[in-house]
């Protein structure tokens, strides 16, 4: 069992009226207003994630605060009144049986449910003090701030270099070829892939092994300098060796990013996360420090899932 960060007190986020969904528009490439952050990656300083509403105060340790979040697919409700605060620079694992709502909740955090016509989200989700369902929020910019790595590696049918360079290019994060080279190299280094591919950057990303492809997708996600990385069962299609490499990478990444991971593996949740949330039938049943959830769960349903009685 990995060491667990002590729990941190949290203030309840201010509530706001839920806002209607908004479809993402195609991004436009821009090339001005670049700066370099402490990590060596380029960031955009003239396009902050903003809304027309007043910023909502959060406890400094809270990165994401969800209040009374419900999700509907047509007439069917998939998520019921989820209240969950996700801490900065922590790995938070979402666990539970198939169909329990954990991936549905994950997709709410960068409005991926917007692409589903029959999906409707109510409640409030605050990221860095901004209500992300405010209609004035730029969804494209939101998804740059809250990146996502999917269950199955999905590299673009492009070179390794272009896979990583794609995001920074459309967001205008590089003003020159040398800037882009720096972003690509730093991203691949952070994803633990640079040494393996530095001499074949112009070969197809689809030619890499499964584990390498997933790390390429992680490099692609962090190339646009997100503050949050969402991972939807990132190791489910990988062998044990590749899984171990990705898990080590997750531990390294949390120094600079807040990570939320959906996993069906309770062993993986115990290894990589500091906090764990258990979902069941669309409800958030229990949330706390990972050690507490696995060693002394407070809810009988959590105990039954962990011991294999349900799931």
Distance CA 304, CA 310 (A): 6
Judge whether 2 lies within some domain.
no
pLDDT value for 10: 39
Bridge-based pairing state of the strands 228-232 and 258-262: parallel
Domain count for the chain, please give it. Answer: 1
The enclosing H or E element of 77 equals: strand 76-87
- Over 60: is that where the pLDDT of 20 sits? no
Judge whether 295 lies within some domain.
yes
Residue listed under structure tokens 């896979």: 163
Q: Is 270 helix (H, G, I), strand (E, B) or coil?
A: helix
Give the other-Cβ count within 10 Å of 175's Cβ.
13
Judge whether 114 lies within some domain.
yes
Torsion angles phi and psi, residue 82, rounded to 5: -80, 125
Model pLDDT for residues 122-166, shown as the tens digit of each residue: 999 999 999 999 999 999 999 999 999 999 999 999 999 999 999
Distance CA 30, CA 44 (A): 10
Q: Provide the CATH number for the domain around residue 143.
A: 3.40.50.300
Give the other-Cβ count within 10 Å of 279's Cβ.
26
Distance CA 208, CA 197 (A): 9
State the residue range of the domain holding 137: 50-306
Judge whether 21 lies within some domain.
no
Distance CA 111, CA 26 (A): 15
| Out of 50-54, 148-152, 213-217, least confident range | 50-54
| Out of 41-50, 91-100, 204-213, 257-266, least confident range | 41-50
Distance CA 163, CA 157 (A): 8
Judge whether 107 lies within some domain.
yes
């Amino acid at each position: 069992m990995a060491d667990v960060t002590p729990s941190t007190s949290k203030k309840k986020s201010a509530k706001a009226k839920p806002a209607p969904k908004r479809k993402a528009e195609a991004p436009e490439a821009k090339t001005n207003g670049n700066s370099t952050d402490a990590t060596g990656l380029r960031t955009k300083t003239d396009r902050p994630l903003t809304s027309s509403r007043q910023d909502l105060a959060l406890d400094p340790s809270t990165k994401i605060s969800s209040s009374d979040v419900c999700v509907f697919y047509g007439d069917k409700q998939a998520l019921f009144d989820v209240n969950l605060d996700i801490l900065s620079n922590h790995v938070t694992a979402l666990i539970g049986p198939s169909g329990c709502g954990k991936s549905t909740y994950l997709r709410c955090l960068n409005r991926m449910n917007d692409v589903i016509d029959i999906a409707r989200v109510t409640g409030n989700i605050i990221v860095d003090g901004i209500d992300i369902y405010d209609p004035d929020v730029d969804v494209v910019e939101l998804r740059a701030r809250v990146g996502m790595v999917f269950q199955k590696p999905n590299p673009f049918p492009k070179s390794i270099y272009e896979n990583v360079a794609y995001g920074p290019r459309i967001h205008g994060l590089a003003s020159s070829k040398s800037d882009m080279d720096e972003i690509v190299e730093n991203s691949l280094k952070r994803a633990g892939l640079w040494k393996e591919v530095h001499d074949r950057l112009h070969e197809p990303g689809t030619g890499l092994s499964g584990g390498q492809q997933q790390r390429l997708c992680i490099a692609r996600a962090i190339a646009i300098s997100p503050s949050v990385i969402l991972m939807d069962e990132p190791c489910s299609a990988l062998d044990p060796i590749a899984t171990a490499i990705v898990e080590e990478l997750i531990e390294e990444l949390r120094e600079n990013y807040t990570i939320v991971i959906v996993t069906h593996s309770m062993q993986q949740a115990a290894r990589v996360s500091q906090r764990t949330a258990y979902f069941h039938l669309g409800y958030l049943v229990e949330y706390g420090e990972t050690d507490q959830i696995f060693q002394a769960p407070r809810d009988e349903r959590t105990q039954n899932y962990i011991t294999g009685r349900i799931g």
